[in-house]
Amino acid sequence: MKIAVFPGQGSQTPGFLSPWLDRDGATERLAAYSEWSGVDLVAAGTEWDADRIRDTAIAQPLIVAASLLSWHALAGKEHVNGVAGHSVGEFAAAVAAGILTDEDALRLVGIRGRAMAEAASAHATGMSAVIGGDQDAVIEQLGTLGLTPANYNGSGQIVAAGELDALAALADAPPRGTRVIPLQVTGAFHTDFMAPAVETLRSAASDLVPADPARSIWSNRDGAHVASGRDFVDLLVEQVASPVRWDLCMSSLADAGVSGIVELAPAGTLVGLAKRALRGVPSVAVKTPDECTPAADLLIAPAV
C-alpha cells in the first residue's frame, strides 16, 4: 500500500514556494488559493520572512497550499492507496482523498488559521517538543506543570503545549533523558486554549457537502480509518482542541501494510518520523519539484 502524507504547521520556511512557481498552472492556482483563503500566498511563500509566516493565520493556508501544489504536480498519484495528514495537513489529505475540493479546503483552513490565531492571542502560550525519555514520565511531568501533551508524534517525541512560563520551567528542568526544543508556533494548539476556534470552525464547516473518500484516510484524532466524508470533516473540526495522535496513525499504516510513503511539500518532518517508526519502508520527501520524479518512481514501483 502506497501512502501520501501531508505535514503540519512549523514545516514552512522563508521562500520555500519559489521553486513551485515555475510549474505549469501554479501561479493561477495560487491566485485562486489566495482569494479563497484570504492570504497573499505568493508573497507569503516567496518574500515574507520567518517571523511573518510563523503567524498562524498565514502559516496554515500557506502549508495547505504548498501541499496541494505538490500533490497536483505529482505524477503517479493514481497509485496512492491512502492518505493521512498531521494537524492542518489533514485539510490537504481530505482533498487528496476526494472528501473536499481545493476551494473548500482553502476557505476552511483560512477560517481555521484566523480563529486559532485569535484564540492564541488571548493567552501567552506556545509549544515545545520533548525528545526521548520515558513517555509515562514525560506526561506525568507535563501534568505537574499544567502542560498538555498536544502531539504524540511517535519515535520518542511528544509536543507539550501551554503557558510560556510553564514551558520555560519544563526547559529548565527537562524530564530525565530528554531534550526540550521550543517550536516556532504562536499558541498552544490542540489544547483547551483553542476551544473558541472549534466553535468558529464548526459553524463554517456546517455548510460543506463533503464526499466520501475515494482513497483510504486515517484521522490523527485517534489513528482510525474513516469511511465517511462528513465524519472526517467533523473530526477536522474537533482536532483543533484535541491532541494529534500521529503515533496511532503510523501504527494504523503499519497494520494496513504500508509499502511506501511520499510526504508532500513542505516535506521532511513526517518522513523523518516514519523512518524511525516504520523501519524499512521506503519514503520520499517532496520539498521541491525535482523530488516529484523520485516520488513518482516510488509510487509506481511494485511493492516488495
Residues forming the active site: 87, 190
Neighbours of 278 (CB within 10 A): 20
Alpha-carbon gap, residue 19 to 14, rounded angstroms:
12
Assigned C-alpha cell, 279: 523501519
Give backbone dihedrals phi and psi of 26, rounded to 5 degrees, phi first.
Answer: -65, -40
Contact of 30 with 47, CB cutoff 8 Å: no
Alpha-carbon gap, residue 293 to 298, rounded angstroms:
9
Give backbone dihedrals phi and psi of 74, rounded to 5 degrees, phi first.
Answer: -80, 115
What is the torsional sign of CA 74, 99, 56, 240?
A: negative
Say which residue the cell 514501483 belongs to: 301
